[in-house]
Chain A
Amino acid sequence: MNPYRVVEQYPRSFEAQLLRAGRAVKAPNATLEVTMSALGLGATAAASASGAAHAKVWSWYGTVSAKWMAVAILAASGAFVATRLHAPSAASVEKTARPSAAPVALADGPERPEWTRAAVTVSKATAPLKATVVETLPPAAPKAARAPHEKPPSGLESADSLGAEVALIDAARRAVDESQGGRALALLRHYDRQFTRPRLAREAALLRARALEQVAHENEAKPASASSSSLSGQNLPGEPQ
């Protein structure tokens, strides 16, 4: 004979409200994913667990990317039309640049190839245009001067943080080697909090698995076996089966 449950007996009480809130607690997706990966069930588990969420994200991503692709195509076609409008000047620059010495040397020769004749005539006709094109081109030097600013200036910083990462991972590894799983886990937790984009994430995951294994060894004991033997074949309330 089971006694009453507070939630059913006094559903409107403050106690029942608190207990209902307790029943509503669910594990976050991150916990599921971390647990799955600790058990070596990582990728497929994560995919199936958060499948619906991923589908939503992908559909949203698909819509957004389609819009941006359309915008990019329009912009590209606009740029193409603009370049076509200035085609003579561009052609003259290219054609005169390619045979740099040839037009002068072969200008009056009888065995001059056909294409050089065309080049000479085009270059003569578009001489002022060429000058304007060259003037409007951006100078090369400022580009070279701007380049260092575009690179991240944090080479030293990243080296420092890598050093710190290595130090923490080494400490965790030492703890695992000394069979101090709990200490290793604490260090790895600290590592996770410290580095939002860790570069040694794989090493950390491996160490975490080893540390958890050590702690699980310690935990694996009597009550588990007692319950597994005594509860054989019983169905508990609320079970999915």
Chain B
Amino acid sequence: MHGLVESMGTLPFTRVDARGNACPIRPLQELVRDYVSHVYRLLRHLGVPSGDLDDACQQVFLVLARRHATINPGSERAFLSSVSARIASRWRRTHRRRNESGNDDVPDQTCAPEPSPEQQLELAEAQRLLLQVLDALPDTQREVFVLFEIEELTMRDISDVLAIPQGTVASRLRMARSQFHQAVAQLNRATPAGRSR
């Protein structure tokens, strides 16, 4: 106990976690740097239009900034996933309304990493197709599918993030997979690029 008090004295920004260990609170700047790609990717795959991704990202991190002091160390990623899922859901609804009124969104191609131009093009095309396939999934299945297959969260984590039972996560994932396979098969038949693979 004495050691704990001492360690807290030497670390000004420390908190005690569930196990009673002192944990330093990570600076907000560090969290933004570490998780911006995770949040960006999640928002993008959960259907936030490319033109709104920056704003949505900022909103997620503003919520993080407000709750920074109350989030338990080690659960920042889950917290950000949860906020991102909620913001994306809200954005999808708004976007659907906007689409109904005739404003469509242009898919962005900004995420190509360093490799050769051909590889970049291929990757950008795959990313575009993935978004197309994900758009075909119902929102609830899409969330579970993206969190499990792309963000690689466990079933239990997804259940916590989305605040739904694990059984629901499993059933949604099963249905999402089935729909995903169907959509990809359809895409394979429809596009020459798909047929050549």
Give bound CA distance, A26 to B129, whole Å.
17
Instruction: Decide: A18 and B36 in contact? CB cutoff 8 A.
Output: no
Nearest B residue to A1 by beta-carbon distance?
A: B155
Q: A219 and B83 in contact (CB under 8 A), knowing A227-B161, A233-B18?
A: yes
Give bound CA distance, A172 to B54, whole Å.
18
Point out the residue from A3, A18, A26, A39 that lies within 8 Å of B28, measured CB to CB: A39
Point out the residue from B54, B163, B173 that lies within 8 Å of A223, measured CB to CB: B163
Instruction: Decide: A26 and B54 in contact? CB cutoff 8 A.
Output: no
B88 to chain A, nearest CB (A): 11
Give bound CA distance, A120 to B150, whole Å.
92
Q: Is B126 an interface residue (CB 8 A)?
A: yes
Q: Is B93 an interface residue (CB 8 A)?
A: no
Q: A236 and B66 in contact (CB under 8 A), knowing A26-B113, A224-B86?
A: no
Q: A237 and B152 in contact (CB under 8 A), knowing A24-B113, A27-B39, A39-B32?
A: yes
Give bound CA distance, A230 to B156, whole Å.
11
Instruction: Decide: B63 and A189 in contact? CB cutoff 8 A.
Output: no
B27 to chain A, nearest CB (A): 9
Instruction: Decide: A24 and B111 in contact? CB cutoff 8 A.
Output: yes
Q: Is A215 an interface residue (CB 8 A)?
A: yes
Nearest B residue to A188 by beta-carbon distance?
A: B55
Contacts of A28 in B (CB 8 A): 110-111
Q: A18 and B17 in contact (CB under 8 A), knowing A35-B32, A224-B86, A236-B153?
A: no
Besides A18-B133, A227-B161, A233-B72, 8 new A-B residue pairs in contact (Cβ under 8 A), listed by A number: A14-B194, A17-B197, A31-B53, A45-B32, A48-B33, A213-B62, A223-B86, A237-B154
- Give B residues with C-beta under 8 Å from A: 17-19, 28-29, 32-34, 36-37, 39-41, 44-45, 51, 53-55, 57-59, 61-63, 65-67, 70-75, 77-79, 81-83, 85-87, 90, 94, 110-111, 113, 123, 126-127, 129-130, 133, 146, 148-150, 152-155, 157, 160-163, 170, 173, 177, 180-181, 184, 188, 194, 197
- Give A residues with C-beta under 8 Å from B: 2-3, 5-7, 14-15, 17-28, 30-32, 34-36, 38-39, 41, 44-45, 48-49, 182, 185, 189, 212-213, 215-216, 219-221, 223-224, 226-228, 230-241
